[in-house]
A and B are shown apart, each in its own frame.
Chain A
Amino acid sequence: MDWRQLWEICSAPDNVPIVALIPLLAFYIYLAWRQAHANDQLIGQLEADPALAKTHHRKTWPFKPGWQKEVHVWPFLLRIEFLGAIIVTIILMIWSITLNAPLEEPANPNLTMNPAKAPWYFLGLQEMLVYFDPWIAGVVMPTMIIIGLMVIPYIDTNPLGSGYYTWKQRRFSISTFLFGFVILWVAMIIIGTFIRGPGWQWFWPGQTWDHNRLIYEVNRDLPDEVPRWLGGPITSNWAKGVFGAIVVGGYYLIGGGAVYSLFRRRMAKDFQRMSLLQFSLMAFLWLTMVALPLKMSLRLLWHIKYVWITPWFNI
């Protein structure tokens, strides 16, 4: 265990936000989960007791008739905001006094940094570069993320869970988001920061970042890996293109079917509320998102680099 290496990575000034992000995120997930759990209990209680549902104020916080339903912003909100501002100021000041912003050698185009890392918040994308060509990881994927985020309100037709934490009423959307945010975004950043060392090689925490490390890693493409009984490795470029298109297309078709099946059985109401466009958009984005870990595992476990090879692009 190379504690010094670990400490060096964790204490690098620009990595401190990421180190801070982990407990922060854990804390807020816990905070949300606690409230969602309470709300879900309340919902269960109310659904079991329609009479109570009619009279209950429907929040988990205490309420008594006669208490103000609305409170003045001044002072009740503003005092919290000011307090927040003070605390943020304190944190920022202490942070700034104790830790200096990094400043390295003057820019030198002739001296490549190893590893050359993007700003930490883009490390997820940089990590994707391992699995995808730059045009996907660097351009298509960010665009898809932005578009995906933007269409969320339009494809989430579930009217429940607006304005309160809940799990029971929004299992699908919350689990999807958690997967996308925590696993695909934050975890990738953490991998990019703490795991990826010189040469963008995989170093377990506590392993020394040895610049001279050599690892054997030969990647193949899926068309080459087609078993003999399925027609052997595909050699012609044309056939490779067709093969890849079939695999990718097949994934979306079969996946689409699976999503449909899931919705029809488990989320019938939501499915009913959705238009065809909404559903297919949702299914496409969801499948694309799920495709990321699939592709990653292909690469990490079976060393498959490309699935679809064409003269113009590779996926």
Chain B
Amino acid sequence: MADKPTPEQDPITSKSYAAHYMIATVILMATLFWALWDEAWGQRPWKEFQEKWKDRYSAFLNTARSKSTASEKDVEKNPQYVELSAALKTATDNSAVAAKQTRDKLDDASARLLAVQTVFTDRRAYVNALTYEWETSTSPSDKASRQKEIDAYKAELATVEFPDRSKKKLNFQQLEETYNDIRDERTRLSLELGDVLKPATDARTKLDDYVTDHMVDLTPQQIDGLKKKTADWDPKIVQINVAEANIVDRCESCHMGAREPLKITAADMTPRGEKKPDEYARAFVSHPEPELLSIHDPDKFGCSPCHQGNGRATTSVEKAHGNYEHWLWPLFPKENAQAGCQTCHSADMVLVSGDVQFSTINSGKELFRRRGCNGCHRYEGYDREPEDLNNVGQQIKQIESQKIDNLKQTAYLMKQADAAESNEEANALNTRAVDLRVANSKLDGRLQQLDFQSHSLMQDMKKIGPNLKDVRLKLNKNWIPVWLKKPTDFRPTTKMPNFRLNNHQIRAISAFIWQSGFTDTLPKHKLGNAAHGKELFESRGCLACHSIGEGDQMKGGTFAANLTRVGEKANYDYLVRWIHNARERTRPYCPYEKKDIGPEDYAKKGLPYQFDLEHSKCPNDGHELQVQNMTVMPSLRLSPEDAEDIATYLLTQKKQDPSAYPNAAFMDDPALKEEGKKWVRHFGCAGCHEIAGFEEEGRIGTELTFEGSKPIERLDFALSTEPAQRGGKESEPIKDNEDLARLPDGPANKPWYDHKGFFEHKLAEPNVFDQGMVKSETEALRMPNLHLSKNEILSLTTFLLGSQETSLPASYQYKPGDARHDIQEGWWVIQKYNCMACHQIIPGQLTALMGLPQYQDAQEQLPPKLLTEGARVDPEWLRKFLSNPALSTTDTNRNGVRPYLKVRMPTFSFSDNELRKLVRFFQALSQQPMPYIPEQVPVLTAKETDMARSLFSSTAAPCLKCHASGDPNHDKIATAPNFLLAKERLKPDWVERWITDPQAVSPGTSMPSGLFKQQNNQWVFAGPTPPSFNGYTGDHRKLLTDYIFQLTPEEQRRVAASMPRAKAAVQTPSDRRHAALESHAAASGGSR
């Protein structure tokens, strides 16, 4: 540098920095503007959204308006509208003159009031000020002088100039009076005006109401309002702020249409000429379920509690939706949106709102139970029976110890009392001692209740899989290893998942299961009639839960096993016992001793070897025994012969002969048994099955209650971590085509390193995260492949995504304490026993039976719909019916209410607990109060009875044509219940509603509508009435209802006798086939 030539000028002082400054300043200014722009627009993309919204929504409203105008025109064509508008015109014309006069008077009064008011208020203010001085002055003289001043002022005359230029001089009092007078006059006049205008106003309201009531969409006026609102809209953040729940949701800053009263689809918002809805169009749609929003008012709930996402963020779509790395609550994907329901409704088994069913989340919840997920994974609220039992046990212990304490205390107090110094003290101590004894008696009562409960709960406990203690009695030995190899190979629709067992494990497990089973012998049965068995199987309702046939041929419900190949595996004698009463147990189990009790135990105590729900105490120690098979399969109250017929039929269901299975003699190898035990424990078989020695086995899986909010780092993607984060086709770890087809969104393409991706992959192929890893057979992932379908995985994923620890305050949780809680409890039982396979409980719900071909033409043969069951039946009757659907202790081989139905309401042996829950459920579902106090039905006079009878037997009201009457000949063709049941069974108000319009209560019922018509505010019979009705002014509907409720068997016979009827009833061909069965139906109605 030193070599460089020295410049002439001193560079330090001569160098100019102007250019530097120039450039720097320009850049600085540019940066500042950039910062401003960024703040105003860059960080506020919603402004662009709102601009677009204004354009597109206005255009949409224009279209909507013309449509609305058209439909308004339609309404205006209506004669009723014309009438109303004519009425309006007349009323307006009539009142016009009077209204004008009154209005003029009113105007005049107002003007005069104003004139007085200006003077009066001024003077009153001065008086008030003086009065204040008087009030606050302390000396009497001062007060006196003030008083004088006030009086003088009040006496002064003030001039009031009225509108008509007339002047008046008034003192204060006159002024006040004048003022009040004019004011009263004005009030009177405005009331008068209202009266005058009333006819016109009323007519106007009627007209307006008529228009709104008759237009499906908004009226043009309403749309104009929306148009104006849209046009006047200034871009601004739209936010919902709920401080108590820390919700700040600005979603509506972009989703402007969410709460609009019109239905807006993405297509509506797509600009013309564009094929696909763009980002804006998709953002502007209205909420698809406005009804949901009316329950969950967004002003209270916001958006994010249901949908998640980052409600505060408005800087970009990704930020707002929370779809970025560090946001823990990203928006639920559209297809999983119902996961949001779990936030508050995790305790509800079935989510229904109005007519909207939340099928995804509902089926997720149901699958979780049905597929036995909770056999391995704990989930809060999904282990009710065992948890309740545990709870009850603890309470019992606590109360017992409290009782002992009380006794001790009593003894001590009494001793103290005896030694007390004074009588008062002794009495006080004795009183306390007595109180404690009474307290103990109360505790005894409570204990008894708890004992009942634990009895009930033992009864309620069910297992998802069959009892494996019975394998030796039940199964073809050689079949077991084949089944374990891959259950779906034998039965594609089985609930039993595939555990990917190797041969060695299969041998060991089968050996253990076989050797640990009961070795009791079963009573022998002779073979029955397979053809009759088939008929019974198809008609008695077995197909509600079971299916038969494979692939396209499959028919029946999916709740229980498919029986297509049952003949290959089952033992006939066991099958007969099972069909006759599946709950029948080989040996009772004592949870206290943890062993199965055999006849030898009973013999030791000299007791008969008898165990059932009434004999459920352990002979050894008196503890409650498990006396039932823990299955939900009910008893169909079949005769032993029928059971044999069905079993014989089922044995014919096979693809190969049972003897074709290779011999599995190794199952008797005792060495394998020990190893088998290890594997049974390893794979958690006891989660679903009852297995000897594993009755109290714990769960092997992780708890899933809050799986959705588990940090992503805790979900072990193993070698797929990196690929999942990056996405792309090659990131898909599942290679098996069958499993690949289970993925709801198909093979991975986008990055899937999130909860959804994990759940979906794990459910599609549970060992997917072992992919590429070297693991020993004990280390390998144990979760079995549940062979779920795409939709099932979608539902379960939704369920798990929603299983989050919520930050919402407790008040947001749906934990109702009232009738709605009964509904929650009831659904648990309803789903447990698959009631919905036969009965329609919520509108639109399909039952398994509805799909069967034999009911397509005979829908009246379907089980009754229970849409308004709670309103229909007396709860006490319902309880009786549910515990014994035959409604008879002796004649059980029939239906109690509808003997004409071939499908049979089974006996579920509900515990008292579950009976209570079910009864409450139906009452609550129909919004009926509990307890039910029956309505008093008035006693009919003889004349009324005669009238009712004559109507009842007339051809116009052929009630007994369909309803059973107790006459065996008639009842063969009856298609409706006996009226004699009504008194105990039904609620009178429901009966009235029912006979008016049965189609509204139970759509599709055989009972026709249109029996009554309304006349003079009375319901009268629509057809010709018997002559005795002439001059009767009462309500026919009420009369008939009262009559039904007072019907006696004699009266019923009298009605039947008076009916024109031929003797012989001929059966329809289908009836003929069931001749054998119909003898049971004959005795209908007599059971009361």
Interface positions of A (Cβ within 8 A of B): 4, 38, 41-42, 45, 60-64, 67-68, 71, 76, 79-80, 83, 86-87, 89-90, 93-94, 97, 102-106, 108, 111, 114, 208, 210-212
List chain A residues, Cβ under 8 A from B11.
Answer: 62
**Which residue of chain B is the closest to A67 with respect to CB atoms?**
B10
Mask of B12-43 contacts with A, CB within 8 angstroms, 1/0: 11000100110011011001101100100010
Contact B711 A111, beta carbon cutoff 8 Å: yes
List chain A residues, Cβ under 8 A from B721.
Answer: 210-212
Given A111-B713, A114-B713: A87 in contact with B24 (beta carbons within 8 A): yes
Contact B17 A64, beta carbon cutoff 8 Å: no
Given A93-B35, A212-B718: A42 in contact with B2 (beta carbons within 8 A): yes
Smallest distance from the beta carbon of B4 to chain A beta carbons, Å?
A: 7
List chain B residues, Cβ under 8 A from A87.
Answer: 24
Distance in angstroms between the alpha carbons of A42 and B13 in the assembled complex: 24
Contact B17 A93, beta carbon cutoff 8 Å: no
Contact B17 A79, beta carbon cutoff 8 Å: yes
* Pairs A–B under 8 Å by Cβ, sample size 9: A4-B726, A86-B21, A86-B25, A93-B31, A104-B326, A111-B711, A208-B722, A210-B722, A212-B721
Smallest distance from the beta carbon of A33 to chain B beta carbons, Å?
A: 13
Distance in angstroms between the alpha carbons of A45 and B31 in the assembled complex: 48
Given A64-B6, A64-B10, A105-B326: A86 in contact with B24 (beta carbons within 8 A): yes
Residue in contact with A45 in the complex, picked from B2, B7, B714, CB distance below 8 Å: B2
Distance in angstroms between the alpha carbons of A192 and B798 in the assembled complex: 41
Distance in angstroms between the alpha carbons of A76 and B27 in the assembled complex: 22
**Which residue of chain A is the closest to B716 with respect to CB atoms?**
A212
Distance in angstroms between the alpha carbons of A193 and B719 in the assembled complex: 24
Q: Does B461 have its Cβ within 8 Å of any Cβ on chain A?
A: no
Contact B326 A90, beta carbon cutoff 8 Å: no
Contact B27 A62, beta carbon cutoff 8 Å: no
Distance in angstroms between the alpha carbons of A93 and B328 in the assembled complex: 30
Which parts of B702-736 form the interface with A (CB within 8 Å)? Answer: 711, 713-714, 718-719, 721-722, 726
Mask of B467-491 contacts with A, CB within 8 angstroms, 1/0: 0000000000000000000000000
**Which residue of chain A is the closest to B30 with respect to CB atoms?**
A90
Contact A90 B34, beta carbon cutoff 8 Å: no
7 extra A-B contacts, CB within 8 A, seeds A67-B12, A79-B17, A89-B28: A67-B10, A90-B24, A93-B32, A93-B35, A104-B326, A208-B722, A210-B721
Distance in angstroms between the alpha carbons of A212 and B327 in the assembled complex: 24
Contact B7 A62, beta carbon cutoff 8 Å: yes
Smallest distance from the beta carbon of B45 to chain A beta carbons, Å?
A: 15
Smallest distance from the beta carbon of A79 to chain B beta carbons, Å?
A: 5
Distance in angstroms between the alpha carbons of A111 and B726 in the assembled complex: 23
List chain A residues, Cβ under 8 A from B327.
Answer: 105
Distance in angstroms between the alpha carbons of A60 and B530 in the assembled complex: 116
List chain B residues, Cβ under 8 A from A93.
Answer: 31-32, 34-35
Smallest distance from the beta carbon of A237 to chain B beta carbons, Å?
A: 38
Given A86-B28, A90-B31, A97-B35: A60 in contact with B12 (beta carbons within 8 A): no
**Which residue of chain A is the closest to B16 with respect to CB atoms?**
A79
List chain B residues, Cβ under 8 A from A94.
Answer: 31, 34
Contact A80 B17, beta carbon cutoff 8 Å: yes
Contact B28 A108, beta carbon cutoff 8 Å: no
Distance in angstroms between the alpha carbons of A61 and B7 in the assembled complex: 11
**Which residue of chain A is the closest to B726 with respect to CB atoms?**
A4
Contact A76 B12, beta carbon cutoff 8 Å: yes
**The 6 residue pairs across chains A and B that have the minimum distance between CB atoms:** A62-B6, A60-B1, A67-B10, A104-B326, A86-B24, A93-B31
Residue in contact with B27 in the complex, picked from A38, A41, A80, A90, CB distance below 8 Å: A90
Contact B1 A103, beta carbon cutoff 8 Å: no
List chain B residues, Cβ under 8 A from A106.
Answer: 328
List chain A residues, Cβ under 8 A from B4.
Answer: 62
Distance in angstroms between the alpha carbons of A86 and B27 in the assembled complex: 9
**Which residue of chain B is the closest to A46 with respect to CB atoms?**
B2
Smallest distance from the beta carbon of A211 to chain B beta carbons, Å?
A: 6
Contact A212 B719, beta carbon cutoff 8 Å: yes
Residue in contact with B711 in the complex, picked from A103, A108, A211, CB distance below 8 Å: A108
Which parts of B483-540 form the interface with A (CB within 8 Å)? Answer: none
Distance in angstroms between the alpha carbons of A135 and B91 in the assembled complex: 98
Contact B2 A83, beta carbon cutoff 8 Å: no
Distance in angstroms between the alpha carbons of A108 and B710 in the assembled complex: 12
List chain B residues, Cβ under 8 A from A103.
Answer: 326
Distance in angstroms between the alpha carbons of A83 and B23 in the assembled complex: 10
Distance in angstroms between the alpha carbons of A105 and B1 in the assembled complex: 55
List chain B residues, Cβ under 8 A from A114.
Answer: 713
Contact A105 B25, beta carbon cutoff 8 Å: no
Distance in angstroms between the alpha carbons of A67 and B11 in the assembled complex: 10
List chain B residues, Cβ under 8 A from A68.
Answer: 10, 12-13
List chain A residues, Cβ under 8 A from B21.
Answer: 79, 83, 86
**Which residue of chain A is the closest to B39 with respect to CB atoms?**
A97
Contact B20 A60, beta carbon cutoff 8 Å: no
Listed residue (A4, A86, A114) with the most chain B CB atoms within 10 angstroms of its CB: A86
Distance in angstroms between the alpha carbons of A68 and B325 in the assembled complex: 60
Contact A97 B34, beta carbon cutoff 8 Å: yes
Given A38-B1, A71-B13, A105-B328: A83 in contact with B6 (beta carbons within 8 A): no
Given A64-B10, A93-B32: A83 in contact with B24 (beta carbons within 8 A): yes
Distance in angstroms between the alpha carbons of A68 and B10 in the assembled complex: 8
Smallest distance from the beta carbon of A37 to chain B beta carbons, Å?
A: 9
**Which residue of chain B is the closest to A104 with respect to CB atoms?**
B326
Listed residue (A4, A108, A212) with the most chain B CB atoms within 10 angstroms of its CB: A212
List chain A residues, Cβ under 8 A from B325.
Answer: 104
Listed residue (B11, B21, B31) with the most chain A CB atoms within 10 angstroms of its CB: B31
Contact A97 B38, beta carbon cutoff 8 Å: yes
Distance in angstroms between the alpha carbons of A87 and B20 in the assembled complex: 10
Distance in angstroms between the alpha carbons of A45 and B2 in the assembled complex: 10
List chain B residues, Cβ under 8 A from A79.
Answer: 17, 21
Distance in angstroms between the alpha carbons of A61 and B11 in the assembled complex: 10
Distance in angstroms between the alpha carbons of A80 and B21 in the assembled complex: 10
List chain B residues, Cβ under 8 A from A64.
Answer: 6, 10
**Which residue of chain B is the closest to A209 with respect to CB atoms?**
B722
Distance in angstroms between the alpha carbons of A60 and B1 in the assembled complex: 6
Distance in angstroms between the alpha carbons of A106 and B805 in the assembled complex: 15
**Which residue of chain B is the closest to A63 with respect to CB atoms?**
B6
Distance in angstroms between the alpha carbons of A45 and B25 in the assembled complex: 43
Distance in angstroms between the alpha carbons of A86 and B28 in the assembled complex: 7
Smallest distance from the beta carbon of B1037 to chain A beta carbons, Å?
A: 65
Distance in angstroms between the alpha carbons of A106 and B726 in the assembled complex: 25
List chain B residues, Cβ under 8 A from A102.
Answer: 326
**Which residue of chain A is the closest to B773 with respect to CB atoms?**
A212
Distance in angstroms between the alpha carbons of A212 and B34 in the assembled complex: 44
Distance in angstroms between the alpha carbons of A114 and B13 in the assembled complex: 57
Distance in angstroms between the alpha carbons of A102 and B326 in the assembled complex: 9
Distance in angstroms between the alpha carbons of A71 and B14 in the assembled complex: 11
**Which residue of chain A is the closest to B720 with respect to CB atoms?**
A212
Contact A76 B6, beta carbon cutoff 8 Å: no
Distance in angstroms between the alpha carbons of A80 and B20 in the assembled complex: 10
**Which residue of chain B is the closest to A77 with respect to CB atoms?**
B12
Distance in angstroms between the alpha carbons of A93 and B28 in the assembled complex: 9
List chain A residues, Cβ under 8 A from B713.
Answer: 111, 114
**Which residue of chain A is the closest to B722 with respect to CB atoms?**
A208
Distance in angstroms between the alpha carbons of A63 and B10 in the assembled complex: 8
List chain A residues, Cβ under 8 A from B10.
Answer: 64, 67-68
Smallest distance from the beta carbon of A294 to chain B beta carbons, Å?
A: 37
Distance in angstroms between the alpha carbons of A249 and B424 in the assembled complex: 90
Distance in angstroms between the alpha carbons of A62 and B722 in the assembled complex: 60
Smallest distance from the beta carbon of B27 to chain A beta carbons, Å?
A: 5
Distance in angstroms between the alpha carbons of A23 and B1060 in the assembled complex: 110
Distance in angstroms between the alpha carbons of A42 and B721 in the assembled complex: 61
List chain A residues, Cβ under 8 A from B328.
Answer: 105-106
List chain B residues, Cβ under 8 A from A62.
Answer: 4, 6-7, 11
List chain A residues, Cβ under 8 A from B726.
Answer: 4
List chain B residues, Cβ under 8 A from A67.
Answer: 10, 12-13
Distance in angstroms between the alpha carbons of A67 and B722 in the assembled complex: 67
Smallest distance from the beta carbon of A91 to chain B beta carbons, Å?
A: 9
Given A60-B1, A62-B11, A210-B721: A90 in contact with B17 (beta carbons within 8 A): no
